[in-house]
Amino acid sequence: MSNENKSIHEFDFNLICDYFSSLNRQVILSKEVTLKALSFIDNLSEKSVIADIGCGTGGQTLVLAQHTQAKISAIDLFPTFIDKLNQSTVALNLQNRVRGIVGSMDQLQFADNELDLLWSEGAIYNIGFERGINEWRKFIKTGGYLAVSEASWFTETRPTEIEAFWNTAYPEIDTIANKVLQMQKAGYVPVATFILPEYCWIDNFYLPQIATQEAFLKKYAGNKNVEDFIANERNEMQLYYKHKAHYGYVFYIGKKL
């Protein structure tokens, strides 16, 4: 077992996909959080168009669909996730309003000013927060909204151990104040920010992984790559328990000027 911090990107793509598609959510989020963020968005109707970028298997997409009348395009790079989402929309009879599409967040196919709301939970880090909020802005109507969640520092100074972890995992992690400033500079009115509760990480993200980890170690017994991957995930969880006063996920809601 290796104890050094590795970025998740160093592991096999299929392995990561298999591991996370077995969970309901691919990040630390929850229905309550999605609804809280949605409560800051005005003026959605059956004519509205929402994009959910990096939707994963669509946990939040379905919540958005069930709490608005809007048309929703949900986009993710991984076909396995999109298949799962499209099966869920059929099961819930939402297929006329919700479409899962395989695509990349750096090549979105929307028209300029098409969207009333651009949503992205726990996914913008794939192209980076600052790049994402700037590049995606043109797709949003004037007066429309951006709602994204992003790993952020809560404190001005942090223990070296956790700084080192995040510098490898996602060097663009920054304080809430700095992220809000980036939004303002990109041309959004910062409508709201809120910190996701700890239970999102612990109950909704890390604890469900424990059973998956054990199943994976059995399924791939003796596979060093899998053992390293699981050790890495476990290390990340331990670091969270130890340093959670210093960082977490934050929702940022902005209105396009």
SS (H, E, C) 182-228: HHHHHCEEEEEEEECCHHHHHHHHHHHHHHHHHHHHHHCCCCHHHHH
Residue 126 interacting with ligand SAH (CB under 6 A): yes
Q: Is 81 in the site for ligand SAH (CB under 6 A)?
A: yes
Under the binding rule (CB under 6 A), the answer on residue 29 touching ligand SAH is yes
Residue 233, interface with ligand SAH (CB under 6 A)? no
Q: Which is nearer to ligand SAH, 15 or 77 (CB)?
A: 77
Could you say whether residue 54 binds ligand SAH (CB under 6 A)?
yes
Strands 188-195 vs 247-256: parallel, antiparallel or unpaired: antiparallel
Helices 176-186, 129-136: inter-axial angle, 10-degree rounding: 20
Radius of gyration of the chain (CA): 18
Among 122, 132, 144, 254, binds ligand SAH (CB under 6 A): 122
Residues 6+ apart with CB under 8 A from 251: 33, 36, 37, 147, 148, 149, 192, 193, 194, 196
Cβ closest to ligand SAH, residue 48 vs residue 149: 149
Nearest to 192 by CA among 143, 147, 130: 147
The reply to whether 56 sits near ligand SAH by the rule CB under 6 A is: yes
Select the residue interacting with ligand SAH from 33, 50, 51, 55 (CB under 6 A): 55
Closest CA to 85 of 26, 146, 172: 26
> Could you tell me which stretch among 7-15, 53-61, 155-163, 242-250 binds ligand SAH (CB under 6 A)?
53-61
- Binding of residue 78 to ligand SAH (CB under 6 A): yes
26 touches ligand SAH (CB under 6 A): yes
By the criterion CB under 6 A, which residues form the site for ligand SAH?
25-27, 29, 54-56, 59-60, 75-78, 81, 104-106, 121-123, 126
